[in-house]
Chain A
Amino acid sequence: MKIQLEELDLMQPWPTLTLNDGYRQLRLLVRIGALPVAEIMIRPFRRTISSDHLRRRLARSAAWNILKALIGEGLRAGPESFATAISLRTNYQSNLQKDALPISGKVELMTGTDWREFVLTQILDPAGLHPPHRDWVRQAAKNDIAPLPPLTVLVCTRDRPAILEVCLKKLLDLDYPNYEILVADNSRNPLHTREVVDRFGVGYLRVPAQGKTKALNAAMRITRTRWMAFTDDDCAPERNWLRELVKPIRDSRCRCVTGLVEPALLENDAEIVFEVYGGLGRGFRPVIFESRFLRQSKMRPPATWNIGAGANMLIDRELVIEIGGYDEDLGPGRPGGPCEDIDMYYRLLRRSHSIHYTPRAVVHHYHRCDARSLQHQLYTYGLAHSAYHWKCFWRYRDFRSMFYVFYFLPKVFKWRWGESLGLRSRYPAFLLFTELRGTVAGPIALTGAKLVRLGRTIGAGLRRLMPSRIKPMTADRSIQTPNVVSQKPTHDSKPVRAA
């Protein structure tokens, strides 16, 4: 089972989409210019997808998104471009009375599902967008003056030099004027990673202590720029990634920006199953999350996992250091599992900062490609989910989390179990057991870590009292002097017009 990934830019004339050998399905990312708008799955009858088929399919599945995105671009384009409406008029009938003009002036009103017809007849064209709409998008891109603060892009890696190389290649190709790249190396064997990093000549920080959060905190301590962008070693950012990611920071309350994470490849079952599980994408609608997001319900905890993913985010480093850095009990390689990002979102929102989700900043993520590592990943996801809720309850006294874990989460598992067994979902049922194991293990692991730390503290105290009797339990873990080889950052933050 393989799924072909394609992109379609509505601005340009549409290319003929053809399925390659060995593929049965096509996953199409629809964009208007750089802006991702919608995603559709096509299972064509023949190898080639005719433009008419594509047009009808787009009108059926993506019409509303296209309509929304286009009007947003029109508004950004400014009043002169916005006023150039469509000169073409269709002949479709209005079902309203003749004399009851719906809004003042002569117009056929779009009501009910007429807008689908409108998108089909007036907007979707295999030759590309019509001139006024094309001008909107171009003008909007011209008007958008981005702030360009100096940035540090941080890549945390652990024993994956081959895929890190792909990531770094993409990162060096970004169209952002002043940024530096820092690789925080958490590997057991740093030789290969070091070699790759030296080849690219980017910043390198060796963090021997295991855990992504340890690496993040260590890297944050040595960085000089205020804003830091995070991505993972298995990600390939697009060329305009940083430029789009920093745009929301013009808002005074915005302290964190997250972006869209798309699959880079769907070549085998493990990758597809991960997408069925939910993937890392968070939709095509820009959202502002603010402190009210935490107070939406009295029973359900806020769905902070819908805000974004640690693979694609920008954060205010000074603020994070001020609130104590990432929680080192959480994160991949730590007992809490990979929930350090949602924990950070929760803490930011609790302090009334806002988090912006922008689908314009796209990162392509290479999912785990064999069943074993997928299973391990889902286990840690289950573990992290319950560990996060346990922390919310224990640390922040958020009682909704316990209600969620003991009431809603079993229901969710039961429902997903039914979906899998009833073949309504393609998610394998046995993976639910894996997740369930993780869910049970989460709080235990987190509490265990706390107990171990408590024991160590007591041990250290005893050792100080009776130094001769008790030998140290662990090897010396004093932090090595960070060895940083970095490009000189250029701190000219003059706003430059986006291309």
Chain B
Amino acid sequence: MATRIVQIDLAKPILPVGGLSGYGRVWLLIRHGRRPIGWVKFSRTFVGQEIRPETICDLIADHLVLPTWNSLRAGPLPAVSHLPSASVIVCTRDHPDQLRRQLESLARLEHPNYEVVVVDNAPRIDGTRKVCQEFSFVRYILEPEPGLDYARNTGWRAAKNDVVAYTDDDACVDPFWLATICDAYADPKVQCVTGLTLPFELETPAQEYFELYGGMQKGFRRRVYHPANWRTYFPLGSGHFGCGVNLSLRRSFLELLGGFDNALDTGSLTRGGGDLDIMARVIQAGGSLVYEPCALVHHQHRKTMPQLQRQMFDYGFGFFAYLAKFAGGDLELQNYAVRLMKDWLKIWGWRRLKRNFKDAIRLRPHFPINLIVREMAGMLLGPKSYRRAVQRVRTRAYVRKLKAAS
């Protein structure tokens, strides 16, 4: 059964929630103005056709006592003034309908001065250009080389402003997303800001399984990472920091880092890991990274099971390719990279497989085993691909140079 996602804002009167027919579960996202507080999740059999406001109050008082008190004591988030101007970069490939939804949400951003750049990555159809022409504020750029990190690099090079915020075509952003991000850059040490990515909808089993896998949420607490706070594998376990759907950097710092690694992420031979790589390198180069839950993005997960199976394989593959990059690189991080590979395979792969197998034979709800197997297969195959991907990037650069010369 599908899951209904509803936002409840405590700064507004709580209204009854209807339209529940066809859904098996309800997730209420409780927010207090701009600040998300937490989830209240329950089965629909609990409420019938309509959720009464009193029931919502009781549920919040039951499940989110401390977060609500904390939010209340913090007061509403102050309105920010003197925001730095920002560039929003949407990297897309052949998803014109989803892109239109994203651009509509970007048109509603509450920010005085921002530009939107759409990078069309090796398009096979002409839809993207047409969609961009519908929106006057959008700048359209074509990147012929396939690869998400190629598109990202083109994006920040074309950006006019210092704050570069990346998002994807299969998501839509909260109106306060950009303002919250820019607010975090008031601290000059902050070089990278990530945010909370919530599911846009949970209509199909594939989308529910992806949330069961962990989804893209990284919690409702603000966190600051900088090179001084040591922890195991730091900064390689950069899955904690955020994800590529909701990622922003300073353009100046990107220049310093030399941009994204073209050998990584979707469209390349390594199939993923580009966002993990840039976040880890920000920390490695001495910048701080802020995880800011108030910067909300709603991501539409893959709808069908085959897509999800492929995505799980790519996740394992890309993550280990990214670790392979560090295992062959900096001496300081070599050990961490190798240890993280071993431990991740052992804990996230093998133990999870065992636990889910037990649940499966006891007929309990569990994460599908074939997805775990696919992810583990990706983990095993991933590391070899990085070297080949680098070679391909070099070859392409060489070909491009030859073409430019001739």
Contact = CB atoms under 8 A, between A and B. Distances in A.
Interface of A: 64, 67-69, 71-72, 74-76, 78-79, 82-83, 85-86, 97, 99-111, 115, 118, 144, 247, 250-253, 285-286, 288, 290-292, 352, 354
B294 interface: yes
A109 B66 CA distance: 9
Contacts, number: 120
Contact of A75 (B35, B61, B67, B78): B61
* A-B pairs, 7 with minimum CB distance: A72-B61, A107-B74, A253-B48, A105-B74, A75-B57, A252-B48, A100-B224
Given A75-B14, A83-B76, A103 B71 contact: yes
A74 B222 contact: no
Contact of B47 (A83, A97, A253): A253
B66 A115 contact: yes
B62 A68 contact: yes
Contact of A251 (B47, B65, B69, B224): B47
Given A102-B70, A253-B47, A75 B60 contact: yes
A288 B75 contact: no
A290 B45 contact: yes
Nearest to A114: B66
Contact of A104 (B48, B61, B293): B293
A292 B62 CA distance: 19
A148 to B, nearest CB: 16
A105 B35 contact: yes
A374 to B, nearest CB: 35
Contact of B222 (A71, A103, A108, A291): A103
A251 B229 CA distance: 50
A105 B78 contact: yes
A72 B55 CA distance: 10
Given A71-B61, A103-B293, A104-B77, 13 more contacts: A75-B10, A75-B14, A75-B61, A76-B54, A79-B10, A85-B73, A85-B75, A107-B73, A110-B66, A285-B62, A288-B55, A292-B45, A354-B45
B68 interface: yes
B256 interface: no
A105 B10 contact: no
A144 to B, nearest CB: 8
B332 interface: no
A105 B45 contact: no
28 contacts: A67-B69, A68-B62, A69-B61, A71-B65, A71-B69, A74-B72, A75-B57, A75-B68, A76-B57, A79-B13, A85-B73, A86-B73, A97-B229, A100-B224, A102-B221, A103-B67, A103-B222, A103-B293, A104-B35, A104-B74, A104-B222, A250-B52, A251-B47, A251-B48, A252-B48, A252-B50, A253-B48, A288-B55
B12 A79 contact: yes
Nearest to A115: B66
Interface in B203-232: 220-224, 226, 229
A251 B70 CA distance: 30
A69 B57 CA distance: 10
Contacts of A79: 10-13
Contacts of A86: 73
Interface in B32-61: 35, 43, 45-50, 52, 54-58, 60-61
Contacts of A108: 73
A421 B66 CA distance: 41
B86 to A, nearest CB: 18
Contacts of A285: 62
Contacts of A354: 45-46, 48
Contacts of A104: 35, 74, 77, 180, 222, 292-294
Interface centre among B48, B58, B220 (most CB of A within 10 A): B58
Contacts of B48: 251-253, 354
Nearest to A140: B57
B65 A68 contact: yes
B222 A100 contact: yes
Contact of A105 (B47, B57, B77): B77
A62 to B, nearest CB: 14
Interface of B: 10-14, 35, 43, 45-50, 52, 54-58, 60-62, 65-78, 180, 220-224, 226, 229, 292-294
B80 to A, nearest CB: 11
Contact of B43 (A82, A101, A247, A292): A292
Contact of A103 (B55, B221, B226): B221
A101 to B, nearest CB: 5
A209 B77 CA distance: 68
B10 A82 contact: yes
B52 A251 contact: yes
B184 to A, nearest CB: 9
A107 B221 CA distance: 12
B68 to A, nearest CB: 5
Contacts of B60: 71-72, 75
A354 B50 CA distance: 13
Contact of B65 (A67, A76, A105): A67
A290 B223 contact: no
Interface centre among B65, B76, B222, B226 (most CB of A within 10 A): B65
A101 B187 CA distance: 13
A86 B71 CA distance: 12
B20 to A, nearest CB: 11
A81 B47 CA distance: 27
A101 B52 CA distance: 34
Nearest to A251: B52
Contacts of B50: 252
A103 B10 contact: no
Contact of A115 (B54, B56, B69, B223): B69
B17 to A, nearest CB: 13
B117 to A, nearest CB: 27
Contacts of A290: 43, 45-46
B278 to A, nearest CB: 22
Contacts of B62: 68, 285
Nearest to B9: A79
Contacts of A71: 60-61, 65, 68-69, 72
Interface centre among B57, B180, B224, B294 (most CB of A within 10 A): B57
A98 to B, nearest CB: 10
A111 B229 CA distance: 21
A288 B46 contact: yes
A144 B54 CA distance: 9
A290 B56 CA distance: 16
A110 B221 CA distance: 12
A497 to B, nearest CB: 15
A85 B224 contact: no
Contacts of A103: 35, 67, 70-71, 74, 220-222, 293
Contacts of B35: 103-105
B70 A107 contact: yes
Contacts of B222: 100-104
A265 B130 CA distance: 79
A71 B38 CA distance: 15
A41 to B, nearest CB: 24
B72 A72 contact: no
B55 A100 contact: no
A97 B226 CA distance: 12
A99 B224 contact: yes
A69 B68 CA distance: 12
A65 to B, nearest CB: 10
Contacts of B45: 290-292, 352, 354
Contacts of A68: 61-62, 65
B281 to A, nearest CB: 21
A354 B72 CA distance: 33
Contacts of A69: 61
B65 A100 contact: no
A85 B72 contact: yes
